[in-house]
Amino acid sequence: MVVKVSVSPNKRCADQEDVCHNRWHPDIKPAVEISPDDEIVLETLDALDGQIRNTPDTSDIANIDAGPVHPLTGPIYVKGAEPGDLLVVRILDAGPLGSFGYTFVTKGFGFLRDVFDKPYKVRWELGRHYASSPDIPGVRIPAAPFPGVIGVAPSREQVREWRSREAGIASKGGLVLLPDPRGAVPSREPIASEGLRTLPPRENGGNLDVRNLAPGSEILFPVFVRGALLSVGDMHYAQGDGEVSVTAIEMGGVIRLSVSLIKDGARKYGLKRPLYRPSPLAEAYKDYICIAGLNLDSAEDATSAARDGLLNMIEFLERMGYDRYQAYILFSVAGFLRLSQVVDVPTYTVSACIPREVFTRISI
């Protein structure tokens, strides 16, 4: 049987609570109940819950409210799923819900947030095969859609444990969004105050932002609560490895999935994380140029090496005629940070690569 869960793209998540939520919590009421081997078609709202407008004006980016991030469709209750099982999710198809997509830079977020701190927006026209933009002329990005967020519900105990784990990180100065009822859906207590934010990926999956979780891929989630409670959202038309600006090509989406269960599988295989089989269909490119990112002033530091590669690639793209915000955003949607080696002490290599195929006007 095919079960469909629709959303209204012109309404906020809060106005369609029966099918939408934006926190992780085991007590959120399921939107639908399915049997293993049913197919399910889900429509999803965009990551910012409609806050970003299709206009060049950036006041929407400057005034982003992080409370409603990310609206998720679900939860989906899978009959027969019990803690200790594995929920196998096959991604069969994915695509945009409309033709508008966006990528942005906003103050306080992104891998290079100390360098890029001004609001900047790129609007995309999402075609069947490519996205193009009036804001970055001379490029086209092949469609490679996938869900940024896909995960199952944590148990009550995990909600408590993970909250205190993240509070510990925050107390050491880490950038963490802790539970906050402002903008929470559902807004009822105690879910609004206890529900975990959707920004970090965790043991239940969530905001993994793995671009290869595209049609043809398979993800196995350890089940933590009865019914598994699968939720999906934050669909991306395309994304590089890194999603460096904090956004991909964001869109409302449609995704078709099938699910099945491996009874007692999480216990049997000792799986405490999602296990996935990436899709070869996500490989839209064949021809790259790369710059070697190196941590030349520190020892065994992959973050510095990645940063070095990215900054050098942005500088290179500036010489090709792009402004540095366009270059940062282009890298976010089509650039790849690849861990090439972690052994040549004290210096690691992170290759920062851009596919040559995205350029329609210049050749690099």
Residues in the chain: 364
Whether 229 and 87 have beta carbons less than 8 Å apart is answered as no
> With binding defined as CB under 5 A, does residue 225 bind Zn ion?
no
Rank residues 74 and 148 by Cβ distance to Zn ion and give the closer one: 148
The residue range among 30-38, 97-105, 127-135, 141-149 that interacts with Zn ion, by the rule CB under 5 A, is 141-149
Rank residues 148 and 227 by Cβ distance to Zn ion and give the closer one: 148
The residue range among 31-39, 49-57, 229-237, 342-350 that interacts with Zn ion, by the rule CB under 5 A, is 229-237
The residue range among 144-152, 275-283, 312-320, 356-364 that interacts with Zn ion, by the rule CB under 5 A, is 144-152
Task: Mark 231-260 with x for binding to Zn ion (rule: CB under 5 A) and - for no binding.
Answer: ---x--------------------------
* Minimum CB distance to Zn ion, residue 47 (Å): 4
Please choose, from the candidates 219, 353, 234, the residue with its C-alpha nearest in 3D space to the C-alpha of residue 278.
Answer: 219
Please choose, from the candidates 175, 150, 96, the residue with its C-alpha nearest in 3D space to the C-alpha of residue 274.
Answer: 150
The residue range among 6-14, 79-87, 140-148, 289-297 that interacts with Zn ion, by the rule CB under 5 A, is 140-148
* Minimum CB distance to Zn ion, residue 149 (Å): 8
Rank residues 54 and 193 by Cβ distance to Zn ion and give the closer one: 54
**Distance separating alpha carbons of residues 137 and 358, to the nearest angstrom:** 11
Answer left, alpha or beta for residue 146, where phi above 0 means left and psi between -120 and 50 means alpha. beta
Site for Zn ion in 311-350 (CB under 5 A): none
Rank residues 45 and 225 by Cβ distance to Zn ion and give the closer one: 45
> With binding defined as CB under 5 A, does residue 49 bind Zn ion?
no
Rank residues 65 and 344 by Cβ distance to Zn ion and give the closer one: 65
The residue range among 184-192, 227-235, 272-280, 283-291 that interacts with Zn ion, by the rule CB under 5 A, is 227-235
Rank residues 47 and 112 by Cβ distance to Zn ion and give the closer one: 47
DSSP state at residue 292: E
The residues pairing with 93 across neighbouring beta strands, listed in sequence order, are 256
| Tokens describing residue 113 | 């947030």
Among 47, 185, 225, 228, binds Zn ion (CB under 5 A): 47
Answer left, alpha or beta for residue 300, where phi above 0 means left and psi between -120 and 50 means alpha. left
**Distance separating alpha carbons of residues 216 and 93, to the nearest angstrom:** 8
| Tokens describing residue 311 | 């900054």
State the DSSP H helix or E strand holding residue 162, giving kind and residue range, or none if neither.
helix 156-171
> With binding defined as CB under 5 A, does residue 148 bind Zn ion?
yes
Query: Which amino acid is it at 232?
Result: V
CA 265 vs CA 91, 132, 275: distances in Å: 20, 43, 12
Binding site for Zn ion (CB under 5 A): 47, 148, 234
